[in-house]
Amino acid sequence: MGTGNEKQKILIVDDSEMNRSILADMLGDEYEIIEAVDGVEAVARLNLDSTDISLVLLDIVMPNMDGFEVLAVMNRRNWIQDIPVIMISAENTSSYIEHAYELGVTDFISRPFDGQIVHRRVINTIMLYAKQKRLIELVSDQIYEKERSNNLMVSILSHIVEFRNGESGLHVLHINMMTEILLQTVMRKTDKYNLKRSDIPIISMASALHDIGKISIPGEILNKPGRLTKEEFDIMKTHTLIGAEMLDQLSYYKDEALVKIAYQICRWHHERYDGRGYPDGLAGEEIPIAAQIVALADVYDALTSVRVYKPAFSHEKAIEMITNGECGTFNPLLLECLLESADSIREQIAVNSIKQESDRNIRNITEDLLHYEDLSASERTLRLLEHERTKYQFFASLSQEIQFEYTREPAMLTLSDVGAKKLNAAEITMNPLDDEKIIGVSDEKVLEEVRKLVNGSSMESPVVQYDGELLIDGEWRWSRIICRSMWNHEDRANMTGCIGKIVDMHEEHAKIKDLQRIASHDGLTGLLNQSNAKRHVIERLHENDDKEYIMAIFDIDYFKNANDRCGHMFGDKVLQHMAGKLTGSTRDYDITARVGGDEFMIFMEDMPGIDVIIDRIFHALTGKYEGFDISISMGVSRSKNVGRKYENMFGCADKALYRAKQSGRAQYCFYDDSMKEILSAISSIDGEE
């Protein structure tokens, strides 16, 4: 019966049905049990929902794939770090046990099973891993703050190099992003490089320093628009050795992992897989994998970016040139990874993310550091104002965002050129709150909520935002309106207006809705899960005090037979079949849910003739499915008899279901007060036994 809380899942892997049944009986009241008959099926189940499994009870000796082989797979796929494993076996020789612990098992249970020992070790193991995860999260937060500061300093230093080199301000970001994607792809395809997840952020950060040696190359060579002479190219090539030497001279930090990786990348990111690179002519796997990946990322970004000596190639053309060997020879495995992740690389580079904004700010800092002149105050102010105006116009045209400014006196709305086109409005509108075109881009609620938020802002907290639907390019799209109120600093009570932008978040909103649906619905049947069904029921009970409701709980009789005879996949199909029959037998307004393994719930309005309706639904849910006879037992409670609390209705329907089962199954029963005493007596007898 459902308890109102989702149970943690335990995967029992044993080729003996008897052993699985014994363990399931011991643990089934507190945990959701998943069974696998051998190692192959266990790996398949872990592949499907490893994030939801809290513990694996794993036999050693099994056909097809034994327990040690399962542990080897769990280690290769990093599942063993998050899912504890308790080995179960009658074989208790020291070599078996020692080998199991070497492969990462947490505990060992011998057969025959002692119920108390099994129960206690399972609870202890699950609690231990839960605490470990919480500690990891706390430590990760602290590490993140430290790494964020490290990233900032590395980015500033690398952007200084970029500025001298005349490259795009996003070059480092692209190299960093592409390095991370390629590393992840490599890790999925092979373990030959012994890469760990913790290596990815270190290598990605170190990639930002790949061209740090160019800081010493003369600017006329770095930014020469034409082909370099042999002498100039020889000078250019020295940036690899200069960068490596700079890092090697960091006496206090040279043994840090970041510095060691950065050294490899600086020195060898121009080596080639066929040995025709520089400075050392390394070939094949002599070149560290970090340098190989950054070299590939560097070539791709150089092809797709504008340089003083060339236009930008398209993403598709760049991929074609690299894979055809037009840009040198690369590791065949990395070329496979490039092709596999090509779509992801294109999407990530196209995203106008917050991090890109941050990098642009870093670039502005480095420009000021490199180009500061001792100007008079008035000259510097005028120059900065002109710089800001040019920057604003440039970013507004690139971002394709709707940017606006509103002034109260006079009442005037000014839209960016892009914004005016997207909203089908004039760039300047007087009295915009009375203008039909401006009013027509949203409903009254959106305008009123934004107005309230802006009026409620202050000089100390001037930024507000609101999400709503706007008519953009003739289509209603979810958008985020971000406003900053503007104030008269001489009169702190006087708000002069606001500036802001409108960000299209339609796709993001759709994804969030999809994720909310996934989180609120049972993954197998598509029905509501128990926790969300409970929320909907409580809302329905509270919003309609003048209505009465009924709740029905039913489960499939002898459902275990379907799993035992035909396997769990067939059992899943039976559950999906029942969900479809349930949906077809009820109305859209009714609440239907899967509340346990084979247990379902119906919540609907009580009405005259409800007995006939329940009878019709009950018989609609019985029948055959692919040769399996389906019958159900059902219990029904009514709010007018048991009260309007969810727990009361669920508990009484559950008791009525119990009565139906005690009476021979394949029937339904409405709850009445007589069940209270009978069921209490039965419960006390069971307790004494």
Query: Is 463 a residue whose pLDDT tops 80?
Result: yes
Whole-number percent of the chain with pLDDT over 70:
81
Lookup: tokens for 162:
């970029």
Question: Are 66 and 162 in a shared domain?
Answer: no
Q: Which of 371, 643, 590, 406 is nearest to 502 (CA)?
A: 406
Using CA atoms in the order 64, 66, 68, 73, what is the torsion angle rounded to 10 degrees?
40
Average pLDDT, the chain: 81
Long-range contacts: 60-66, Cβ < 8 Å, 24+? Answer: 60/87, 60/88, 60/89, 60/91, 60/96, 60/100, 61/15, 61/89, 61/91, 62/13, 62/14, 62/15, 62/38, 63/15, 63/38, 64/38, 64/39, 64/40, 65/38, 65/39, 65/40, 66/39
Query: Which pLDDT band holds residue 162 (cuts at 50, 70, 90)?
Result: low
For residue 515, is it within any domain?
no
H/E element, 649? helix 646-662
Q: Quick one: 257 and 346 in the same domain?
A: yes
Is the Cβ–Cβ distance between 331 and 277 less than 8 Å? no
Residue scoring higher pLDDT (275 or 127): 275
Q: Are 49 and 77 in contact (CB under 8 A)?
A: no
| Percentages of the chain per state (helix, strand, coil), in multiples of 5 | 55, 15, 30
- Any idea which of 92-106, 349-363, 403-417, 568-582 has the lowest mean pLDDT? 349-363
List the CATH number of the domain containing 526: 3.30.70.270
**What is the pLDDT at residue 686?**
43
Q: Which is more confident, 687 or 172?
A: 172
Tell whether 135 is covered by a domain.
no
**Residue 357 vs residue 240, higher pLDDT:** 240
Residue 95's domain is classified under what CATH number?
3.40.50.2300
Q: How confident is the model at residue 132 (pLDDT cuts 50, 70, 90)?
A: low
pLDDT reported for residue 343: 85
Same domain for 179 and 327: yes
**Are residues 503 and 538 both part of a single domain?**
no
Question: Most confidently modeled of 156-165, 342-351, 370-379, 590-599?
Answer: 590-599
Whether 268 has a pLDDT exceeding 90, the answer reads yes
Position 641: which residue type?
N
pLDDT given for residue 379 in this prediction: 46
* pLDDT band, very low/low/confident/very high, at 309 (cuts 50, 70, 90): low
Beta bridge partners of 405: 414, 499
Distance CA 329, CA 9 (A): 49
Within this chain, do residues 331 and 408 fall inside the same structural domain, yes or no? Answer: no
The pLDDT value recorded for residue 347 is: 77
Token pair 């009870």 is at which residue?
A: 57
For 670, the enclosing helix (H) or strand (E) is strand 668-670
What pLDDT is stored for residue 110 in this prediction? 78
| Cross-sheet strand order for the sheet of 632-638 | 591-594, 599-605, 549-556, 632-638, 668-670
pTM of the model: 0.36
Domain limit, last residue, from 68, 90, 113: 113
**393 CB neighbour count, 10 Å cutoff:** 12
Average pLDDT over residues 544-560: 90
pLDDT value at residue 391: 53
Most confident of 211-225, 347-361, 498-512, 658-672: 658-672
Amino acid at 544: N
The per-residue pLDDT for 688 is 41
Task: Give the DSSP H/E element, type plus range, for residue 282.
Answer: none
> Is residue 650 scored above 50 in pLDDT?
yes
Per-residue model confidence as pLDDT tens digits over 407-440: 887 788 888 878 888 888 888 888 888 888 888 8
SS (H, E, C) 441-467: CCCHHHHHHHHHHHHCCCCCCCEEEEE
Nearest to 9 by CA among 133, 112, 122: 122
Only one residue has tokens 């270190």, namely 202
pLDDT band at 492 (very low <50, low <70, confident <90, very high): low
In a domain, 394, yes or no: no
Of 113, 136, 168, the position where a domain reaches its end is 113
Mean pLDDT of 602-626: 91
pLDDT more than 90, % of the chain? 26
Give the separation between CA 104 and CA 530, rounded to whole angstroms: 35
**Residues in CB range of 374: below 8 A, 6 or more apart:** none
Provide the pLDDT confidence category of residue 651 given band limits of 50, 70 and 90: very high
Q: Mean pLDDT throughout 441-463? A: 86
Please report whether residue 413 resides in a domain. Answer: yes
Cβ atoms of 160 and 369 closer than 8 Å? yes
- Domain assignment of residue 358, yes or no: no
pLDDT, average across residues 197-218: 84
Residue 322 near residue 296 (C-beta atoms within 8 A)? yes
Q: What is the pLDDT of residue 392?
A: 55
Distance CA 496, CA 249 (A): 56
Tokens encoding 498: 């606001």
pLDDT number for residue 400: 66
CATH number at residue 323: 1.10.3210.10
Closest CA to 359 of 212, 159, 177: 159
CB atoms within 10 A of CB 663: 11
Shared-domain flag, residues 539 and 480? no
Report the half-sphere exposure of 498 (CA within 13 A, side-chain side).
Answer: 22
510-536 average pLDDT score:
82
Question: Residue type for 256, please?
Answer: E
User: Kind and range of the H or E element at 637?
Assistant: strand 632-638
The CATH number of residue 415's host domain is: 3.30.450.20
pLDDT tens string 22-38: 888 888 888 899 999 99
Q: Which of 192-206, 463-477, 483-497, 560-574 has the lowest mean pLDDT?
A: 483-497
- Find out whether 617 and 602 touch, Cβ atoms under 8 Å: yes
Q: Tell me the H-state helices in 269-376.
A: 289-304, 315-323, 332-340, 342-350, 354-371
The verdict on 596 and 668 lying in the same domain is: yes
CA-CA distance, 217 to 219, in Å (whole number)? 6
Please check whether residue 404 lies inside any domain of the structure: yes
The pLDDT assigned to 362 comes to 41
Has residue 136 been placed in a domain? no
Does 519 have pLDDT greater than 80?
no
* Residues 428 and 540 reside in one and the same domain: no
Distance CA 14, CA 39 (A): 8
CA 577 to chain centre: 30
3-state secondary structure of 599: strand
Q: How far apart are CA 549 and CA 646, in angstroms?
A: 11
Of 106-120, 159-173, 286-300, the least confident: 159-173
Taking residue 167's Cβ as centre, other Cβ atoms within 10 Å add up to: 22
Do 561 and 672 have their domain in common? yes
Report if residue 138 sits inside a domain: no
Separation CA 599–CA 2 (nearest Å) = 8
pLDDT at 394: 56
pLDDT of 7 > 60? The answer is yes
Q: Where are the alpha helices (DSSP H) in 476-523?
A: 506-520
pLDDT at res. 371? 43
Would you say residue 317 has pLDDT above 50?
yes
Nearest to residue 72, comparing CAs of 31, 104, 111, 112?
104
Model pLDDT, residue 350: 67
Same domain, 301 and 423: no
Which of 121-135, 253-267, 658-672 bottoms out in mean pLDDT, i.e. has the lowest?
121-135
Same domain, 214 and 339: yes
Does residue 683 or residue 301 have the better pLDDT? 301
Confidence of residue 119 (pLDDT cuts 50, 70, 90): confident
So what's the pLDDT on residue 576? 92
- pLDDT value at 683 more than 50: no
Domain boundary among 486, 510, 534: 510
Answer yes or no: do 13 and 77 share one domain: yes
pLDDT of residue 292: 96
Closest CA to 260 of 279, 295, 288: 288
pLDDT band at 567 (very low <50, low <70, confident <90, very high): confident
Three-state DSSP state, 172: helix
Residue 172 CB neighbour total at 10 angstroms:
26
- Looking at residue 198, its amino acid is S
pLDDT in tens, 338-392: 999 988 888 777 654 434 444 444 444 444 444 444 444 444 444 444 455 555 5
d(CA 479, CA 466): 8
Number of structural domains, the chain? 4
Domain interval for residue 431: 400-510
* pLDDT, position 549: 95
